[in-house]
Chains A and B, each alone.
Chain A
Amino acid sequence: MSERLLTVSSSPHARGKQTTKSIMTDVIIALLPATAVGFYVFGLKAVILVVTGIATCVLTELCCEKIMHRDVTIGDMSAALTGLLLALNVPVNCPWWVLMIGCVFAIVMVKQIFGGLGCNFANPALAARVLLVASWPSHMTGKAFIPVDAVVSATPLAIIKEGGDAIPSALQMFLGFDGVYGCIGEISAAALILGFIYLLYKKVISWRIPVTYVATVAVLSFCFGLSAYEVLIQVLAGGLMLGAIFMATDYVTSPATAKAQFIYAFGCGLMTVLIRQKGGYPEGVSFSILFMNFVTPLLDKYLRITKYGEVKK
């Protein structure tokens, strides 16, 4: 034979365009509108938090993989995405060191210890957020959301729960620009939906989980006796859009089949409404998704798809 060495590998010899890196990058791009609104509304503090979050996660992943003698995977953008997501999920007054602890927890305890990307038992950013809310409630809730120069004193859902200021209008909440406060990345439903459309266009996620989740919250809130307008506020407020579009759809911790995804998203919606209406917190998205993350393996185990040529009896 000739001197040329031919490559031999198992078929198929062609591959699609999407890679792990392109998917992670697409999700980051989809988060940019929401990040931009966060920067515009909350200013320099928000920028510092986002940069801190991304840098901490990437560095932590690098250190972990060096120490554990694993291949360095920071190039796949997943650590950067975790950092961005967590930063978008903290209030603007959250101290930088609290965010950093969250980032280290997300990468070390949730992701790397369990085997790195794809092996995490829960969404790292979400688990870290829940840890921070439980550990430093004063930095993560209540006044922490409100910039010092703001006229209102609470987030929309807190206002509904505790009373006080007037609830912002639905349009304000949809756009998120004036007087609507919350975590850095959750205030503008419009920006988040823009990201959702981008993810659908790029075929990164399907519509099933976000749409089912939001629809469940709307319908169940209505069942709890809320007026149509209040239902709209429930849908637009809090981390629902951010959670439904970017957190609940995390591949690793959501089910694989369509059937299971519908049930998973319904579960998220049910838990969110129960926590908001009957629980002690004004906000329930993080806990709900985290809870359903743990149900995912069960859903995957019992809800398989029908194979071609299944012998029907």
Chain B
Amino acid sequence: MEIKKGTFKKGIHPSYNKHYTSSLPIEIMPSPKEVAIPMSMHTGAPATPVVEVGQYVHLGELIGQAAGYISANIHASVSGTVKAIEPRLMGNGSKVSCVVIENDFQDAPCENVEKYDPETVSPEDIVKIIQNAGIVGEGGATFPTSVKLSPGPDAKIDYVIINGAECEPYLTSDHALMREQAAKVAGGLHLAMKVFGLDKGYIGIEDNKPDAIEAFKALNDDSIIVYELETKYPQGSEKHLISAIAGREVPSGGLPAQAGCIVINAGTAAAIYDAVTEGKPLYERVVTVTGSGIKQPKVLLFRIGTNVNEIIEYCGGLTDDIAKVILGGPMMGPAVYDPNVPAGKGTSGILCLNRADAHIEDPSNCIRCAKCTEVCPMGLMPMYLGAFSQKRNFEKCDEYNALDCIECGCCAFTCPARRPLVAEIRVAKRGVQALRKKRG
């Protein structure tokens, strides 16, 4: 097995704080009494519920049908009776239709589960299985994986890359998964390689996870090239992982496939393998429950639709000086005002911060230090984007490439004046999109 090194330009070195959970094994959380499974926890159109209130559902049974091409199937994460189909509050503040299932704790399996041999399964079948299993990117963007694996007949894919960078501070979900189930992740990679007829696959892991790198080395698989990446944020950004491994840039506004690359999260790869070999749809995933505000940090395998409050209680509850609960990592995850929301396919972390860790000084005037410009991995000038956004000058925001922003947060992290640059740029992006629409 070949080991190579790689990195990308710019970026930041935040405090990683992975020590809370970095040595913990994945613990299986007992399934809860009730799950509320959102019909929209992926990029694209919400799924359409295909069950009725009062109906009995089996573990892994289809309960939401993908509505359109960019959408994803949703499956029951417990067996039991459908109690309600109603809108519930999500982590991002919106209300989404949820199928609420009362658990009968039988985990009654579905009948006629189709299992395939990974050696003989056809590329077309792999994509179909992934689509049926409702697999989406587990890194956070939750883009339907089957769509990602179908870039069209014109695309020439040279690199299939597993994203094991996990550059977000605090999170260790992928780390634990790669350490414990490297063979499964590698199996997922092989299946993805098969889709594109490739005989080489790549996996990128930050060098702060030596045991994960070792786990892949131990597989002794010559068709996989492991990249030991510099520990730098945002190394796990799709675009920057491609820079580090393939040495290519994804064209502005384009997809990785246009640079001949497909990037799949490590957790997603394991899910692909499970879907093909066991016929298991995506109904559970790994989450890191961590931070100074949780009593017992854990790495948990939970059923999709479990209430975040219940996960927190399972981890001993919040500390008395809790100030912030974030779904995801500290750099890109949204903060919730109420943890009474379901955890979904994209919930990679539940980060609980106490008052001291959540404290951010009030913003003051921009001093034009240009440190945001020096760290922006997209090569933008956040200082100007922020200023133009405040003035609602969206023409200028467009000229300064607001839409290229990936909202990684490097600029706001670095800003000594504590300017809310990401928030300002989000406003700018909306403004630019509206402006472009108006122009036609």
Majority DSSP secondary structure for residues of A touching B: loop
Majority DSSP secondary structure for residues of B touching A: loop
For residue A69, CB closer than 8 A to chain B, the reply is no
Contact at B368–A18, with CB atoms within 8 Å?
A: no
Minimum CB distance partner of A119 in chain B:
B365
For residue A116, CB closer than 8 A to chain B, the reply is yes
CB of B213 to closest CB in A, whole Å: 25
* A118-B169 contact given A12-B422, A19-B361, CB 8 Å threshold: no
Contact at B331–A1, with CB atoms within 8 Å?
A: no
* A257-B370 contact given A6-B322, A10-B423, A311-B252, CB 8 Å threshold: yes
Segment touching B, from A51-59, A151-159, A264-272, A302-310: A302-310
Mask, A238-269, CB within 8 Å of B = 1, is 00000000000001110111000000000000
For residue B318, CB closer than 8 A to chain A, the reply is yes
Contact at A73–B413, with CB atoms within 8 Å?
A: no
Contact at B333–A18, with CB atoms within 8 Å?
A: no
Neighbour of A11 across the interface among B334, B339, B378, B415, CB < 8 A? B334
Contact at A12–B412, with CB atoms within 8 Å?
A: yes
CB of B248 to closest CB in A, whole Å: 10
Contact at B381–A305, with CB atoms within 8 Å?
A: yes
- Residue numbers in B under 8 Å from A278 (CB-CB): none
Minimum CB distance partner of B352 in chain A:
A6
- Residue numbers in B under 8 Å from A10 (CB-CB): 420, 422-423, 426
CB of B131 to closest CB in A, whole Å: 28
Neighbour of A6 across the interface among B12, B337, B383, CB < 8 A? B337
Minimum CB distance partner of A260 in chain B:
B370
Contact at A252–B358, with CB atoms within 8 Å?
A: no
Selected A-B contacts with CB under 8 Å, 28 pairs? A4-B322, A6-B337, A7-B335, A8-B337, A9-B335, A11-B332, A12-B413, A12-B422, A13-B326, A13-B333, A14-B15, A14-B330, A14-B413, A15-B412, A16-B414, A20-B417, A118-B367, A206-B374, A252-B368, A257-B370, A305-B373, A307-B378, A307-B380, A308-B243, A308-B252, A308-B377, A309-B239, A309-B252
Closest 3 CB pairs of A and B: A12-B409, A10-B423, A256-B370
Taking beta carbons and an 8 Å cutoff, which residues of B are in contact with A? 12, 14-15, 169, 239, 243, 249-254, 318, 322-326, 330-340, 351, 353, 358, 360-361, 364-371, 373-374, 377-381, 383-384, 400-401, 404, 407, 409, 412-418, 420, 422-423, 426
Taking beta carbons and an 8 Å cutoff, which residues of A are in contact with B? 1, 4-16, 18-20, 22-23, 73, 76, 78, 115-119, 206, 251-253, 255-257, 304-311
